[in-house]
Amino acid sequence: MSPWNGVLPAITTAFNADLSIDHGAVRAHVNWLVSRGCTGIIPCGSLGEGATLSLEEKVALMRTVVGAVKVPVIPGIAALSTAEAVRLAKAAEDAGCAGLMVLPPYVYSSDWREMKAHMAAVLRATKLPCLLYNNPVAYRTDFTPAHLAELAAEFDNAAAVKESSTDARRVTGIRALLGDRLALGVGVDDCLVEGVEAGARFWVAGLVNAFPDESVRLYDLAMAGKKEAAFALYRWFLPLLRLDTVTKFVQLIKLVQQEMGWGHERVRAPRLELVGPEREECLRVLREALANRPAL
């Protein structure tokens, strides 16, 4: 099964009251997502609060997800140092993961020579197919189509790109330069329809954690070219999908999950649970969406 198709939830990480990982809740959640049509699972990403998880916790989380589902598991590989990213990549392969989502360093950001060296070290460390994660908004590192072409030319296991620049033109730019060499995916929730129209073929999604039925349906309609139906569902979904594109996206999505009966709004510091007007506005958006929720 190719991991580069369909809806791939970047899952939140469920925490117990003491903020240890709630592995039982994780197992139940990923099973539910797969039962609703999701085609893979991505733990340890930004939405999964990967920056607050130790290496040991990440490996334990990977093993929990691999043991829970039969679809590809593609963990985020992100670390402060290249050496730790390499250790994490090797551990993911040992844990039975099907691929890796490789991030640039998320604190130190410099020039392409250094960023390429980091990515190359991870790609050399594993035989698994790798999803190259471009998110200049969050990480201040921009993998241009030319940069992606360099990695694709040198590493056979550079297999796909998660394009999260929020610019749908990047998808067409990558296609123009690389053809079908890299599978293309949309990495922000509120650019799915535009990305598919430009040539993307999978969706690394966030609000899917609470709304898998609508997410899978939207993806299917977009891929089938049913534009009118896709935009009707998209129009309803966009206020929720936009929660994925702001600084407190983790808190917002976890709150929505909690309200929908899947998970808890607990987050690890430095994040704090939402309070006051921010929390009320999120709940207002959710209430309005539920009041007008379309039949699928």
139 is catalytic: no
Q: Which helix (H) or strand (E) holds 287?
A: helix 276-291
Residue 26 near residue 66 (C-beta atoms within 8 A): no
Q: Which pair of structure tokens corresponds to residue 154?
A: 């040198």
Q: Which of 58, 106, 139, 162 is catalytic?
A: 162
Pick the catalytic residue from 106, 133, 219, 234.
133
The answer to whether 66 and 95 have CB atoms below 8 angstroms apart is: yes
**Contact between residue 230 and residue 222 where contact means Cβ atoms under 8 Å apart:** yes
Interacting residues of 108 by C-beta distance below 8 A, sequence separation 6+:
80
CA distances from 272 to 21, 39, 160, 164, 239 (A): 17, 31, 33, 25, 22
| 3 state SS of 162 | strand
**Distances, alpha carbon 180 to alpha carbons 13, 107, 175, 261, in Å:** 33, 32, 7, 40
**Which H helix or E strand runs over 67?**
helix 55-68
In angstroms, rounded to a whole number, what is the distance separating the alpha carbons of residues 116 and 27?
35
Known catalytic residue at 162: yes
Which residue is associated with the tokens 């993806």?
219
Question: Which residues participate in catalysis according to the annotation?
Answer: 133, 162
